[in-house]
Amino acid sequence: MIGIFDSGVGGISVWKELYALMPNEDFVYVADSAHCPYGRKSADEIIERAKKISDFLIGKNADIIVVACNTATAAAIKYLRSHFSIPFVGMQPAIKPAAVESKSGIIGVLATAGTFKGTLYMNTITKFAANIKVIEQTGDGLVELVENGKISGDEAEQILHKYINPIIAAGADKLVLGCTHYPFLIETIKKITNNALAIINPAPAVALQTKKILYENNISNKNNSGSNTFFSTGNTETMKMLVQNINKNINDTNFITHDI
């Protein structure tokens, strides 16, 4: 059983890649939408939520947990790995591929304030982007847009223009998405930028790492059955919409509101 959690529905973008790579595995997803967004919370608050949700997922027989949230990874992954005995996979800022592939020597990073403050992000910048100019942009309001299902339209375009126009003006040719909610805005980003930026989503790499750990620890699903259960601490409507856009065969009864 693969457990996944995020501050809300953003981690569905990670589940999408996990499911595409390992459709026969069993997945349990938790969207902590009642406490979203995490970006403005303290590290202690995020650790408390991450621990409660991890306890819940382990109670559902999770053998591995994917922290499908950049902010929660930055604040809580070290604690989770020390507190629990099962493996945890976090979101790695995709700075390295952006820096290596950039032709202009300038990259943009769109993330939450919590991610930018994290040691993991700062260490990654130091290690892989010492000779690259990094334009950092905090995406205030974008998580809330996605949580409300507003992944296209005038409101999304206006906010994205505000954040991405300065990145383009600075000469960036790569845009790193530093929040798992943001991949749901990729089509709108492409539209407003006329594909001027190559968009880098770390979720596929996280799925590959999860599969590697499953096989190394011999905890992959031997029954080849495959199941998906989606919990939310808040409203499930946006989650249903996003999941069913990915796979219309997912049964509605798998979406459950649950207080954690």
Give the residue-averaged pLDDT of 198-206. 95
Q: What percentage of the chain has pLDDT greater than the value 90?
A: 85
- Residue with the larger pLDDT of the pair 112 and 207: 207
Which residues are CB-contacts of 38 (< 8 A; sequence separation ≥ 6)? Answer: 7, 32, 46, 49, 69, 71, 72, 75, 112, 114
| pLDDT for 253 | 56
Q: Cis peptide before 204, with omega less than 30 degrees from 0?
A: no
Is 36 a residue of the active site?
A: no
Is pLDDT at 251 greater than 60 in this prediction?
Answer: no
Q: Please, which pLDDT band fits residue 141 given cuts at 50, 70 and 90?
A: very high
E strands in 41-138: 64-67, 88-89, 106-111, 133-138
DSSP assignment letter at 184: G
Q: What is the mean pLDDT of the chain?
A: 93
Which residues in the chain are classed under CATH 3.40.50.1860? 2-91+204-257, 95-201
49, 139, 225, 231 from 2: Cα distances, Å: 19, 29, 13, 14
Pick the CATH number of 2-91+204-257 from 3.40.50.1860, 3.40.30.10, 3.40.640.10, 3.40.50.720: 3.40.50.1860
| pLDDT for 254 | 84
Are 160 and 189 in contact by the 8 Å Cβ rule? The answer is: yes
Note the CATH number of domain 95-201.
Answer: 3.40.50.1860
pLDDT tens string 91-127: 988 999 999 999 999 999 999 888 888 888 999 999 9
* Annotated active-site residue in 18, 67, 143, 179: 179
Tokens of 51: 């621990």
pLDDT tens string 32-91: 999 999 988 999 999 999 999 999 999 999 999 999 999 999 999 999 999 999 999 999
φ/ψ region of 149 (left if φ > 0, alpha if ψ in -120 to 50, else beta) reads left
* Annotated active-site residue in 2, 12, 62, 69: 69
- Whole-model pTM? 0.93
